[in-house]
Amino acid sequence: MRFTPENFPPYQLLDPVATGERQADQKTRQLERLYHLTQKHSWDGRAVLGALIDRHGPPGAGLEPRTRDALRRVMTVLMWGELAAWNISADLALEIPDLEAKMAATAQVFDEARHFYVLRDYVSQLGTSERIGGLPNRLFTKVLSAPTLCQKLVGMQLLFETNAVVMFRRIGESELCPILHELLPYFERDESRHVGLGVMYAPKLIERMSRAEARATARFQLECTLLLMASGFVFREDFAALGLDQRQMAIRVSSMQDEVVKQMVEVSGRSVLRAVASPRAGVGPKILDFIHPADGIASAPAWHQRVHGAIIRAAHRLDRAYS
């Protein structure tokens, strides 16, 4: 709820009947709990990063130049993704009318701000940050400018957060940089908690949608997913340089998103499928196998390799065109 001189103070928040109904609602209690969990598990980004640098030396120390460059490019995109998430969660905190969901979104603002400044400090010490490509920028701005609360929730909670959790986990597990190995689990825990806002609040918004609004939200999810996939093609060489298996990451992201959609269905019934879809539904698994063949693209048939190469070239052209 965006407050104006006409609707402030919102006296309805103190209505004893409405307050009692909210407190009795399980989803409401869980949303409020997200706010308190954020306070409980808050961490000092400057202190944590500073201590890790004191212990392990500067970011990227000892890395080969190619590996360092790839790490800088990937971490730079993640950094700007955290800034986008900070702004989106601030929009949600401002616009959401439900008190407990507003509290959960406000808590997320606090986390995302910390994530951004910690990654900014890390990347600035890793090396000169370059401009990100047009595809990831297009994705960030698409979600930032989404016209509805539900589309912002879908873009951030279902797509941004799940991809961020998997990438933070894999980069941390890789032990490329001892600082990230110890730092990124903090990010992962925060991001995993953030998904709860989308799981519990998005179904409530979908219930109120017209058929046209539900179709628009489903189309928005598809368009964002295509941008994510195209961005993955552009960063293939960087992921390879970092030893990160894109197929493995895609499977983990798909599993997380499938679980989020299942939880939404459990919360509000199958009606949510009007507006959101699991990547494991329909042709999703076949697309994943085509983009990331189980035995590698070098083992795929010649026609598959030709089409795959054409898609990569097209993605790079789009990335430059959108820049």
pLDDT digits (tens, 9 = 90+) for 89-111: 999 999 998 888 899 999 999 99
pLDDT at 17: 45
Give a yes or no: residue 10 inside a domain. Answer: no
Task: Supply 231's token pair.
Answer: 């961005």
For 35, the 3-state DSSP assignment is helix
Q: Give the pLDDT mean for 22-35.
A: 71
pLDDT at 194: 85
Domain harbouring 44, CATH code: 1.10.620.20
Handedness of CA 278, 276, 197, 105 (dihedral sign): positive
* pLDDT band of 25, cuts 50, 70, 90: low
Return d(Cα 291, Cα 223) in angstroms, integer: 17
pLDDT at 282: 83
Q: Say if residue 126's pLDDT is above 70.
A: yes
Q: Say if residue 112's pLDDT is above 90.
A: yes
* pLDDT band of 168, cuts 50, 70, 90: very high
Give a yes or no: residue 255 inside a domain. Answer: yes
pLDDT at 18: 53
* pLDDT band of 170, cuts 50, 70, 90: very high
Q: Say if residue 323's pLDDT is above 80.
A: yes
Give a yes or no: residue 43 inside a domain. Answer: yes
Domain count, the chain: 1
Give a yes or no: residue 9 inside a domain. Answer: no
* pLDDT band of 3, cuts 50, 70, 90: low
Give a yes or no: residue 304 inside a domain. Answer: no
pLDDT at 191: 87
Spatial CB neighbours of 103, under 8 Å, sequence gap ≥ 6: 31, 32, 34, 35
Give a yes or no: residue 298 inside a domain. Answer: no
Give a yes or no: residue 201 inside a domain. Answer: yes
pLDDT at 313: 96
Can you give the residue range of the structural domain that contains 173? 31-231+244-292
CA atoms within 13 Å, Cβ hemisphere of 191:
26
pLDDT at 157: 86
pLDDT at 27: 66
Residue 278's region, left for phi above 0, alpha for psi from -120 to 50, else beta, is beta
pLDDT at 143: 95
Q: Say if residue 321's pLDDT is above 60.
A: yes
Average pLDDT value over all residues in the chain:
90
Spatial CB neighbours of 76, under 8 Å, sequence gap ≥ 6: 123, 129, 130, 132
pLDDT digits (tens, 9 = 90+) for 244-254: 999 999 999 99
Give a yes or no: residue 301 inside a domain. Answer: no
Spatial CB neighbours of 189, under 8 Å, sequence gap ≥ 6: 41
